[in-house]
Structure 1
Amino acid sequence: MKHRHDMPFGAQPDAQGTDFSLWAPAARHLVLRHRPGDEGPWQEQAAVSAQGGWWRCTLPQAGAGTRYQWLVDGTAVPDPASGHNPHGPHGASVVVDPCAFDWQHAPPGRPWSDVVLYELHIGTFTPEGSFAAAARRLPALRALGFTAIELMPVAAFGGSHGWGYDGVLPFAPHAGYGTPEDFKRLIDAAHGLGLMVFLDVVYNHFGPDGNYLGQYAPQFFSQEHESPWGKAINFDGEGSATVREFFIHNALYWAQEYQIDGLRLDAVHAIVDDGERHFLQELSQRVRAAAGDRPVHLVLENERNEGERLAATPLPGRFDGQWNDDFHHALHVLLTGETRGYYHDYGNQPLARLAHALTHGYVFAPAPRQEGRRTALAPAQPQPLGAMVNFVGNHDQVGNRAFGERLATLVEPPVAELALLLSLLGPAIPLVFMGDEFGARTPFLYFAGWEGELRDAVREGRKREFGHALEHARAGRTELPDPCAAQTLADSRLDWALAESQGGLARQALVRQALAARARWIAPRHGLLLSEGHSAQAVGDTGLLVRWHYADGRQLVLELNLGGTPVSCPACPSFPGETIFQHARSPSDDHWPAWSARWTLSEPQA
């Protein structure tokens, strides 16, 4: 099978040669510099100016492997739509022939209800930090019951290593992880196992190192709007039609040419679009139309809690899911007692906040966090619970701590186990951060391979942001991890030896059992979940009796004790039905031991 996405940007090879296109409305003179491979003399061919700021050039007989750079008024720059930059974003781009790769497996085509996400960072998931090494770990994930891997961004960025959220060439996989063909082999291997592949994409900014667009296409950046990273991407001003196409084609490129099964859009609250049709709406419409009957799932990270962007079923213009920080923050405060920073908003009655997240999705009403503390609770009308993505850890919630601690290092094992089960066994879609399935103790720190002034600025910025953490650090810690040191990257790599330990094997067995219960009892009922009427009743100081309602009259009932002492509920009603999972529970219905839970699927109610 061959898969290709044609677009007006970049290099498009065919049997006669390769057509090159660059949108450079501010350029006065463009030349395409090229050579057949990494060695030999460069040749140059003048580009032709076309309408609308476009420049075009055709090289007969030039095919895959051709190295090229644009000389924009004498300055050498990479192709912003490059499919491969083996020497980083400051080096030459390479023509990639997508039809040279022969796909062996079709995408699994799983519905949203089947999704169980496993988030991983290619560079720290394995000792090798490569696409090929990650592929070798996939069978074990599938055996545990995961149905999808979610990759932190792989788009090419400046420096040798980083999280990926500072990408500058959004169509080119980071060369440190492997070639485009290596990435396709990873995806193909996942599909052969029945695993979906989700990819994080960043459409709210470009990274600070290796982006040249401002020199020849300043229209990429808004003259009206700002973002946390400087000028916002221009989605609604002069020239924005081409900018919108650039990013929409990026989504289509991953979905079609790389057969990606889902996209997670990073920090869409930082995307500003005052136009008639919001960029997010258009992107969803275009991806849905191009995918046809094949499921391509669309997920948001959105601090604004805009429930109107979500839908219980795939709809053009809407999104399948959103990362639910409210669930995580309420649970984290309840278990750790931390109330600094954004946890401050959840310090008041965290058990009630958690109950609201479990039954209504969001805790707080739509509001950007940067405008101050959020105090207004979300409306009583719940969001689609099946559109929530719940987790007890992810790259942000672990990596944005000063020392990158996982929940497993902040609480006792029974507490961490119960928290993980709570994210796995509910109507929301679960997400597990790499290593948490075996109780990893390694940190996940912020790291970036910056050099020079940028390196110095990042180091100083981390000190300003997290210097206070040293006051509360464990004994022996007198300084923050250096974000640009090679050791910080090394410290963040998973220790797979722990996965083979007695404790690691026990944690994996627990996850396997929970996901088997989910696949049998919860996922098939996803479409029957009602949009409202769910309830949560406090039991003592640490207990919750949660009831989720289905259209056929059944209820998924959770009896949960998130405390270190037992609670009793002699007045709680009984729920005849099937016990689908229980953890640390005794046979008694009205006695709930410490850190325990039981999930029951009740018989239909009259």
Structure 2
Amino acid sequence: MTQSWGGSWSAEGWTVRLWAPEALRVDLILDGHEHPMTAQAGGFWSATVPARPGMGYRFRVDGETFPDPASRCQAGGVHDASRVTGPDDFPWQADWGGRDWSGAVLYELHLGAFTGEGTLSAATERLAELAELGFTAVELMPVGQWAGARGWGYDGVLPFALHPAYGRPDDLRRFVDRAHGLGLMVILDLVMNHFGPEGACLHRIAPAFFDRARHTPWGAAFDFAQAPVREYWIECAEYWLGSFRLDGLRLDAVHQIAGPGAETFLRTLAQRARVVDPGRAIHLIVEDERNEPTLRETSYDAAWNDDFHHAIHCLLTGESHGYYASFARDPMDDLARALLRGHVEEGQPRPGQPRPGQPRPGLTRPRGHPCAHLPTTAFVNATQTHDQIGNRARGERLLTLADPQGVRTAYALLLLSPYIPMVFMGEERGAITPFLFFADYAGELAEAVRKGRAAAFSEIAALGAEAPDPLAEGSFALSHLDWRDNDRARDWLDLTRRALAFRAARVVPLLASGPRLEAQVERRGPAALRAVWRFAAGTLRLALSMGTPDPAPCPPRGARFDLGRPGIDRFALSVGVEPG
């Protein structure tokens, strides 16, 4: 299939294409030499020229010069020239056909804060430790290039280009090859709903790329009714999956991929992503705050499930602000519902939320539709994520907010329940280092970001404290993971290792046997419950106490995993699996 965006190689040389439907003239400036580009059907411009990998190039559109919005590699920052990249010829070593989704245990990490060096090379050296603990997949926060040297990655403007702070493209290939050699999948978080506030050039190259009738909370919305817009993002997905042999994608905030053409885009993206390499399983995850089942019913494997997180968080911390409001009313009941059905909010009116047609300030409308018919593997559960930690004023982890034994019990529940677990970096070792929001802007934009974060956390200032400055390099430094070996780390690592070994040996075979045949969850007093899930290959039973002992605990039968003493300890978990 002909590539619509960016550069590609053929027998004729190097061909580069750009969509600029309103332009009168477009030139390619390659290594200082000007080459007129030819207008083609549909608003594209093209040039085929002799080139060498490493050459710098730009586009001149009606007299204004830009980098390639589909650049695979930059000579420097987002405003600098793009570089010609060579054909893919990396010497892959791992013999890899992928892994079944039922065995997924995700480890979310930010490459810049995962190690002291903040590079792919340094992260590669840590992969063996994750595999030894029992993780089966690494989920990378976005790596597409954004303005500045540090950031979360969700403000990218060159989504095809690896951010140079992390290394070169072959460093990512070495990371993936090493992961595969250890049995680890690599999932990449991609942002296809907006560009960041600095360095996006498509606003001027192709204003038609954007939907003037719609705006996201983070920037201009894309017009997915335009075939070249859909193709841009689909080719971006194909590039990362194909050139880097990734095992899947997590699509950020798909609820903001909306308007005419959005449904076609998401369906086509899934179809084409899965055939990038027919010999390798590709897994697709969405973040969708609507709690909609449709994508998972048709073409996507799973969705992040914030409802599980919110129930756990409110249960352990007692917090009730913002989106925690409805989950703070009876978090144990919400946890029971999450274990039974997957999502908690499925379109029903709930205390703390307005009824349809009766919106109240500061609260959202009821959201979602019934999802209990989906397999348990269609939900990615977490007790901590980059969002839920980093969007707090001080970036606190759960261990600094709640009873440590309660946090341990919730963590074990996450790893052993029949949903797909995701751990945020450091959680496996009981980390208490914060993960703050950080960025690297200058001038008016920096001040706007600073003021915006301060306004969002005005209640902290009212208490005589301030949120850390997101633009300060120290905020980034504070967010680096602490790898020190101490008693707490060893205790948490041992729990992680034991729980994931039990999951691999006992729980995953149930999930691999097919969807749950039956599920039951019974409340046992104010803070205890029992749950049963029946699968074709056996039955999973669970007894949980989250602050009050079960008055009459019934130990699960079969192979057992216990944390605490059911019926005695305030926090306890007992899990049993019976085959057949």
Give the TM-score band, short-chain normalised.
over 0.9
Matched, 1:271 2:257: yes
Residues 269 and 304 of structure 1 are in contact (CA less than 8 Å); yes or no, is this contact kept in structure 2? yes
CA distance in 1, matches of 2:372, 2:467: 43
Q: What does the per-residue CA deviation read over 1:404-458, in whole Å, with 9 as the maximum and x for residues that have no partner?
A: 0010111132122111111110111110000111111110000010111110100
- Note the 1:12-27 alignment, pairs <5 A: 12-14=8-10, 16-27=12-23
Matched, 1:593 2:569: yes
Matched, 1:401 2:392: yes
- What is residue 535 of structure 2 aligned with on the other side? 550
Aligned pair in 2 of structure 1 residues 373, 546: CA closer, same or farther (>3 Å)? same
Could you tell me which amino acid in structure 2 is paired with residue 348 of structure 1?
Answer: R
Offset of 1:216 from its aligned partner?
Answer: 1.9
- TM-score, normalising length: structure 1: 0.90
- What is residue 178 of structure 2 aligned with on the other side? 189
Moved more, 463-472 or 249-258: 463-472
Matched, 1:538 2:518: no
Matched, 1:491 2:478: yes
Matched, 1:55 2:76: no
- Note the 1:227-266 alignment, pairs <5 A: 227-236=216-225, 240-266=226-252
- What is residue 314 of structure 1 aligned with on the other side? none
Question: What do you get for the CA RMSD once the two structures are aligned?
Answer: 2.1
Matched, 1:324 2:305: yes
Offset of 1:558 from its aligned partner?
Answer: 0.6
Could you tell me which amino acid in structure 2 is paired with residue 397 of structure 1?
Answer: Q
- Note the 1:140-151 alignment, pairs <5 A: 140-151=129-140
- What is residue 115 of structure 1 aligned with on the other side? 104
Matched, 1:282 2:268: yes
CA distance in 1, matches of 2:176, 2:39: 38
- What is residue 26 of structure 2 aligned with on the other side? 30
Offset of 1:27 from its aligned partner?
Answer: 1.6
Offset of 1:575 from its aligned partner?
Answer: 4.8
- Note the 1:457-606 alignment, pairs <5 A: 457-471=448-462, 478-497=465-484, 500-531=485-516, 533-552=518-537, 554-563=538-547, 565-569=548-552, 572=554, 575-579=556-560, 581-585=561-565, 591-602=567-578, 604=580
Offset of 1:506 from its aligned partner?
Answer: 1.4
Could you tell me which amino acid in structure 1 is paired with residue 30 of structure 2?
Answer: H
The secondary structure found in structure 1 opposite 2:157 is: strand
- TM-score, normalising length: structure 2: 0.94
Residues 249 and 283 of structure 2 are in contact (CA less than 8 Å); yes or no, is this contact kept in structure 1? yes
CA distance in 2, matches of 1:193, 1:74: 51
Offset of 1:585 from its aligned partner?
Answer: 2.2
Aligned pair in 2 of structure 1 residues 113, 365: CA closer, same or farther (>3 Å)? same
Residue 325 of structure 2, aligned match among 308, 322, 344 = 344
Residues 97 and 279 of structure 2 are in contact (CA less than 8 Å); yes or no, is this contact kept in structure 1? no
Q: What does the per-residue CA deviation read over 1:71-120, in whole Å, with 9 as the maximum and x for residues that have no partner?
A: 11222211011110131110010111142322222434101011110000
Residues 361 and 382 of structure 1 are in contact (CA less than 8 Å); yes or no, is this contact kept in structure 2? no
Matched, 1:127 2:105: no
Offset of 1:289 from its aligned partner?
Answer: 3.4
Aligned pair in 2 of structure 1 residues 367, 506: CA closer, same or farther (>3 Å)? same
CA distance in 1, matches of 2:86, 2:34: 22
Offset of 1:530 from its aligned partner?
Answer: 4.1
- What is residue 97 of structure 1 aligned with on the other side? 86
Could you tell me which amino acid in structure 2 is paired with residue 569 of structure 1?
Answer: A
Residues 345 and 375 of structure 1 are in contact (CA less than 8 Å); yes or no, is this contact kept in structure 2? no
CA distance in 2, matches of 1:191, 1:514: 22
Could you tell me which amino acid in structure 2 is paired with residue 585 of structure 1?
Answer: R
Moved more, 365-374 or 440-449: 365-374
Offset of 1:529 from its aligned partner?
Answer: 4.9
Offset of 1:381 from its aligned partner?
Answer: 4.1
Moved more, 485-494 or 411-420: 411-420
Offset of 1:603 from its aligned partner?
Answer: 5.5
CA distance in 2, matches of 1:415, 1:32: 60
- What is residue 38 of structure 1 aligned with on the other side? none
How many aligned residue pairs are there? Answer: 570
Structure 2, unmatched stretches of 5+, are: none
Offset of 1:52 from its aligned partner?
Answer: 1.6
Moved more, 386-395 or 412-421: 412-421
Aligned pair in 2 of structure 1 residues 211, 575: CA closer, same or farther (>3 Å)? closer
Residues 14 and 63 of structure 1 are in contact (CA less than 8 Å); yes or no, is this contact kept in structure 2? no
CA distance in 1, matches of 2:13, 2:368: 59
Q: What does the per-residue CA deviation read over 1:505-557, in whole Å, with 9 as the maximum and x for residues that have no partner?
A: 111011001000000001111133544631111112111101111135x3211
Could you tell me which amino acid in structure 2 is paired with residue 21 of structure 1?
Answer: R
